[in-house]
Structure 1
């Protein structure tokens, strides 16, 4: 006959076995999935990651702990904006420079060396032309997408355009407007040395959206996400035009 301690131990072992069926082993593959999810969705809570990856929060926290010890992930308290405004602070996890290094290539160092030599030989104007040529490609892609989807929110179109170029961009609600969040930056390592790349990109956003946007954070500066604030007046103007388009008829 089993005593109560045997019964309790059996139940505990049963719970552990049940939980194990829903938790993946702490292997590199799963940690890669955790890092990839943060890269594509931006700073995330353990609960967000668990839901996306089909893991238990306990399993995700173990992976995050290991990644933190390796210096690939860090965390901070952050208030999240939602449909009802500013939410409660939550602990979010984001990739560090070391974590992002896996997504960059050895070409970064080559590009930095080449741009340094170009600036030394031809002056700052030559560097400005290189920076402008890079955003010209973004502008061309954006205008093609806008022509195909004229009714879409311009900021959303820009985010999709940036994602097509490897920036993994999303639109998030923010105070008095929207925020374009670029969760990856293919030129982040280069932009650390040549911030002109970020400046030219920000000016392009203002031109394309018809508003004085503000760059709040950049990966090159050490932030987890490149964040650009788009004032609310852009949304208001777009909605007004959509609701009451200008008349093209003439009175004769």
Structure 2
């Protein structure tokens, strides 16, 4: 079982910046207990607070993760992948990088197709895709909404690599569309001032 402070980090990661009362409710502890955990995390540089005013009510203290807080979640490939990207660009140029991305798209599609192919309906395929992505460290889940579904990824385990070559994000969107019938649109993006990546999948 996760310790309370680790659980607090996970809750803020999933929900985004939060006030202390809903955080305490999620943790199942008192407000004072939640405040103790947050102050401990703040002392470690993992969370920070800001003041938010809504309407005529009293200002609220809102807690969010710092960069160090985000780094507590799974991160894969990092330095090795970034170095590899730089090497490919340097030696083979953009055409070489594009060839690698094309291969990556086909590899990813084949990998996911093997599992998603077992599902006959759209929701089943989305559910299995969310499970795979979650296992890969994306903290993925899906929600059913009016007219379709949302695939939500609260973490990016290849964030550093994707920031070095954002075409990796294009590859993922392309693969999702091919696997789910071409009705997928990214509505929130980590590299477009979003706090996570969210994909909207429409019913055909």
TM norm. shorter chain > 0.5: yes
In the TM superposition, residue 116 of structure 1 has moved relative to its aligned partner by: 0.9
3-state DSSP class of the match of 2:29?
coil
- For residues 156 and 189 of structure 1, the distance between their equivalents in structure 2, rounded to whole angstroms, comes to 27
Q: State the Cα RMSD in Å.
A: 3.4
- For residues 200 and 63 of structure 2, the distance between their equivalents in structure 1, rounded to whole angstroms, comes to 22
- For residues 116 and 178 of structure 2, the distance between their equivalents in structure 1, rounded to whole angstroms, comes to 14
> Which residue does the alignment assign to 1:108?
78
> Which residue does the alignment assign to 2:92?
122
Please give the residue correspondences for 1:11-90 in structure 2 after superposition, counting only pairs within 5 Å: 29-39=3-13, 41-43=14-16, 45=18, 46=20, 49-67=23-41, 71-73=45-47
Say yes or no: does 1:131 pair with 2:101.
yes
Please give the residue correspondences for 1:63-212 in structure 2 after superposition, counting only pairs within 5 Å: 63-67=37-41, 71-73=45-47, 94-104=64-74, 107-151=77-121, 153=123, 154-173=125-144, 176-212=147-183
> Which residue does the alignment assign to 1:216?
187
CA contact (8 A) 1:159 1:180 kept: yes
3-state DSSP class of the match of 1:160?
helix
**Unaligned segments of structure 1, at least 5 residues:** 1-28, 78-89, 238-252
CA contact (8 A) 1:172 1:178 kept: yes
3-state DSSP class of the match of 2:182?
coil
**Unaligned segments of structure 2, at least 5 residues:** 53-59
3-state DSSP class of the match of 2:117?
helix
Residues 177, 148 of structure 1: CA spacing in aligned structure 2 closer, same or farther, 3 A cutoff? closer
Larger-gyration structure (1/2): 1
Residues 56, 149 of structure 1: CA spacing in aligned structure 2 closer, same or farther, 3 A cutoff? farther
Residues 168, 131 of structure 1: CA spacing in aligned structure 2 closer, same or farther, 3 A cutoff? farther
In the TM superposition, residue 150 of structure 1 has moved relative to its aligned partner by: 2.5
> Which residue does the alignment assign to 1:15?
none
Residues 43, 105 of structure 1: CA spacing in aligned structure 2 closer, same or farther, 3 A cutoff? closer
CA contact (8 A) 1:49 1:60 kept: yes
